[in-house]
Amino acid sequence: MTIGAPEFLSGSPYPARRSVPAMTDIAIKTTALIKRYGEHRALNELNLQVPSGEIFGLLGHNGAGKTTTVSILTTLLEPSSGTAVIGGHDIRSDPDAVRRAIGYLPENVQFYDNLTLAENLTFFARLSGIRNPRARIREVLTFLDFTGREAQRLGTFSKGMRQRAGIAQAILHAPSVLFLDEPTSGLDPQGVAKLRETIISLNTELGMTVFMNTHLLAEVTKTCSSIGILSSGTLIYQDSVQATLQSFPDQESLEDIYLHIEAGRIS
């Protein structure tokens, strides 16, 4: 099933995205992106390109800078220097246009737990200026195979259900780029498999470019088309998953390849 773009109310911040020329072949591009906290560099001159239509997985140890990267690319955090262009819009000179072009699912999804799923999504749809929230919510929930929960309060949802509700919220305004920060965190194997299926559908059926951080390396080979590895704030590797597996024939898994690349960086 595919879903179309929603209609937006007059005066909404979102209609402007319709007049933007078709996206270039590069959905995400960072240029010498740096984030400092005092003397510490959390991100060190990140130069990264993610083509449109990719499912890109950003890998790295705890504290490598993955969440910092996502926070900057989603305009939640300002870089110390450098910049990035998302969907043709610069995060520093045109952050509002970037926000119109992206969806974002944080690691811990925040909702109004005393409200129902429908009430939460209606609230966010109105913030986005969607003309007919009820129809759009029904369309998105049907696409996600998550109907029948509209009258249930978010406070009763499991972690997996909250993740699916979070994805629904993130794609209500039909973004071209979707950011997922540790989307599998806290999910059981069934929840991980369902999330994988959803991510692939968003990419293949709706054409969304997906940028995700994850610790589950086994999932990367099943979900992502390309990867990058951050180590202590520095991008030390980027390539397609297929090319990566072919380049390291002596390694049995992506996890072994990751450890091999990290070890080379340390040594």
Does residue 18 carry a pLDDT above 50?
Answer: no
Predicted confidence (pLDDT) at residue 111 exceeds the cutoff of 90: yes
H-helix or E-strand containing 159? helix 159-171
| Spatial contact of 225 and 210, defined as CB atoms under 8 Å apart | no
In this prediction, residue 71 carries a pLDDT of 96
Q: How many residues does the chain have?
A: 267
pLDDT in the model for residue 219: 87
Q: What pLDDT band is residue 24 in, cutting at 50, 70 and 90? A: low
Which H or E run contains 126? helix 117-127
Residue 4: per-residue pLDDT: 62
- Asked if 24 contacts 88 with a C-beta cutoff of 8 angstroms, the reply is yes
Provide the sign of the torsion angle of the four alpha carbons 88, 90, 96, 101, taken in this order. positive
Under 8 Å between Cβ of 195 and 188: no
Beta strands in 89-133 (DSSP E): 89-90, 102-105
Domain ranges of the chain: 23-113+177-266
Q: What is the mean pLDDT of the chain?
A: 90
Tell me, what's the pLDDT at 7?
61
Query: What does the pLDDT read at residue 94?
Result: 97
The residue behind tokens 């009820």 is 134
Asked whether residue 224 carries a pLDDT value surpassing 70, the answer given is yes
Percent of the chain with pLDDT over 70: 90
Amino acid sitting at position 217 = L
* Residues 248, 260 contacting (CB under 8 angstroms): yes
Residue 8 pLDDT greater than 80, yes or no: no
Tokens of 81: 């220097």
- Evaluate if residue 22 carries a pLDDT over 80: no
Specify the amino acid at residue 59. L
Which candidate, 128, 28, 11, 127, places its Cα nearest to that of 75?
Answer: 28
Q: What is the tens place of the pLDDT at every residue in 130-172?
A: 989 999 999 999 999 999 999 999 999 999 999 999 999 999 9
Total H helices, total E strands in the chain: 9, 10
The confidence band for 14, taking pLDDT boundaries of 50, 70 and 90, is very low
Q: Which of 9-13, 103-107, 127-131, 227-231 is predicted least confidently?
A: 9-13
**Per-residue model confidence (pLDDT) at position 185:** 87
Q: Which helix (H) or strand (E) holds 47?
A: strand 40-51
Q: Is 83 exposed, middle or buried (0-12, 13-18, 19+ CB in 10 A)?
A: middle
Give 39's DSSP letter.
T
The 3-state DSSP class for residue 178 equals strand
Does 13 score more than 60 pLDDT? no
Confidence of residue 55 (pLDDT cuts 50, 70, 90): very high
How confident is the model at residue 5, as a pLDDT? 61
Label the pairing between strands 81-86 and 26-37: antiparallel
The 3-state secondary structure of 186-243, one letter per residue: CCCHHHHHHHHHHHHHHHHHHCCEEEEECCCHHHHHHHCCEEEEEECCEEEEEEEHHH
CA distance 10 to 151: 29
Average pLDDT over residues 96-109: 94
* Residue 188 pLDDT > 60: yes
Under the banding of pLDDT at 50, 70 and 90, the label for residue 213 is: very high
CATH number for the domain whose boundaries are 23-113+177-266: 3.40.50.300
pLDDT tens across 59-71, in order? Answer: 999 899 999 999 9
- Mean pLDDT, residues 112-133 taken together: 95
Lowest mean pLDDT among 2-6, 138-142, 193-197, 226-230: 2-6
Helix (H, G, I), strand (E, B) or coil at 45: strand
The radius of gyration of the chain's CA atoms, rounded to the nearest angstrom, is 19
CB neighbour class for 224 (10 Å; exposed up to 12, middle 13-18, buried from 19): buried
